[in-house]
Amino acid sequence: MTNATDTDDKLTVLRTTRGTCPICIEIVDARLIVEGGRVLLEKSCPEHGKNRALLSESPEYFSELLEFYHDIMPPDLPQRDFILRLTARCNMRCPICLASSDQFDEEDLPKEQLAAFLKGRGRRLKLDLMGAEPTVRDDLAEIIRMADKGGHITALHTNGLEITDPDRLKELVDAGLKEVHLQFDGFEDEHNLVLRGRPMAEVREKILASLEQNGVATDLVVTILRGLNENQMEKVLTYAAEHPFVKEVFYLGCRRLGRATDDFADQVVAPDELIDDLERETSGKIARDDIRIFQKLYFSLLAALRVRKCFYIHHYIVIRTRDGYRPLSQQMDLAYLEPRLERFRRMVKRSRLLSVPYLLFHCGISVLRKGGLTLLADGVVLSLLLLLGFDLSRIKRRIILIGFISACDPWIHDVEISANCGKGEVATDIGVHEAGADANVERERVHLKAETKSARAHGLS
């Protein structure tokens, strides 16, 4: 159902769907609604009633992109990116750990199981080496080497403690590691104490130095907790602009997942809210309206190249300069491009053969109108990476990618959105899932059942 008005409740229903009850973690009826200037995902559970989760406070932006996305994205695209949950062990105990590190009895992912999975999936997968903390595995270099020999792209997601030593990091790079996604919530220990339970500023200086020394393509992942560290968003972006080994900055909104549950319920952040935060912190230099048009372009390229990605993750690009960074809008005529994207939206339904050259031609014109000839070549590289496998180490020096994302928890889990999730997952506890969003929810369901069983065994329920 699209844009139906419920006069009794004075709300607009954007779409009906199925989702997860955040109480019992079962799939129930759901709908996406606009009420009071906010986009909400409302779940209706026969046992626990209605629950609502905020998705956006910019309903026009959200609903416009939602319709655009569903209009152009092909269904049933194959999954090419997978999270490898290598271990549930960790060398830290973060209060906001989304991965429930060291809380449940879970074996490390066996290399034999991983090898069997890769053998049946062909070449050029993007493999996100995750956990809890994958660097606690002594055989991590062997895993990377195995993946590299298979022609896959490996990306390490880490708190960085084990790679403060440049020689340890070099071992992984020599094995074939392509990129590192570093947990990096800002520069202030007052924030680290809340998010990570310990000071991190000094050790992160060593981690960054190690990454820079080895020339490792790096993504700084900034977890945002509402009311805590929004003021670090622009500071991290400025650091990225000054250090070319940083290729990407991802702003991750904290969600109610793993250990980050009731204690942080009032401080969770939806992906769309992060855009408002960054716009405010950059005094409008990075603007929501520019991101809106760029997101249409991003969705269009995904559709043209038949690449599977989630609607919830939004992106933008800034250009590294000698004195900082400038937004993409200064080097690409987004206003010129938008009506052409709308025409592509109509064309792609009739003919992909004609619509793709049309899209690429006008992307080129929009760059040339701003005199960004060098950016034109960069855009070709980015498009090829989308098609062939996104390897951050191939990103040109000028480009800094920005992402806005939240892990899907049971509150915002939407079955139709997760059907096109941009990452699958391989794990020992719940097996292989084509959608990482579904894996998150399934893990929460398994943990809830285990906790319920334990409570009953001890006479607590």
What's the DSSP call for residue 152? -
pLDDT tens digits, 208-229: 999 999 999 999 999 999 999 9
The order of strands in the sheet holding 179-183 is 324-327, 314-321, 399-406, 246-253, 217-224, 179-183, 153-158, 126-130, 81-85, 424-427, 431-433
Beta strands at 4-6 and 179-183: parallel, antiparallel or unpaired: unpaired
Pure H helices in 261-329: 271-281, 288-305
pLDDT digits (tens, 9 = 90+) for 7-33: 445 899 999 999 999 999 999 999 999
Going across the sheet that includes 4-6, the strands are 4-6, 11-20, 27-35, 38-45, 49-56
Determine the longest span between alpha carbons in the chain, in angstroms. Answer: 71
> How many C-beta atoms lie closer than 10 Å to residue 262's C-beta?
7
- Distance between CA atoms of 89 and 334, rounded to whole angstroms? 45
For residues 50 and 71, is the Cβ–Cβ distance under 8 A? Answer: no
The backbone torsions φ and ψ at residue 344, rounded to the nearest 5 degrees and listed phi first, read: -55, -40
CA atoms within 13 A on the CB side of 451: 10
What is the residue-wise DSSP string for 335-398? HHHHHHHHHHHHHHHH-HHHHHHHHHHHHHHHHHTTT-HHHHHHHHHHHHHHHH---GGGS-TT
Question: 153-158 and 126-130: which strand pairing?
Answer: parallel
Using pLDDT thresholds of 50, 70 and 90, give the confidence band for residue 123: confident
Which of 92-106, 381-395, 427-441 comes out lowest in average pLDDT?
A: 92-106
Q: How far apart are CA 221 and CA 94, in angstroms?
A: 15
- The pLDDT score that the predictor gives to residue 287 is 97
pLDDT at 2 over 90: no
A 10 A CB-CB count for 353 gives 8
Return the residue matching tokens 């949950």.
85
pLDDT at 372 over 80: no
The tokens for 425 are 């997952």
**Residue 105: both structure tokens together:** 């009895």
Q: Which band of pLDDT confidence, cut at 50, 70 and 90, is reported for residue 460?
A: low
| Sign of the dihedral through C-alpha 439, 440, 446, 450 | positive
Q: Inform me whether the pLDDT recorded for 6 exceeds 70.
A: no
Place of tokens 């400025």: 238
Q: How close are the terminal C-alpha atoms of the chain, in Å?
A: 40
3-state secondary structure of 155: strand
| Distance separating alpha carbons of residues 97 and 263, to the nearest angstrom | 12
Structural domains of the chain, with CATH: 1-57 (no CATH), 81-406 (3.20.20.70)
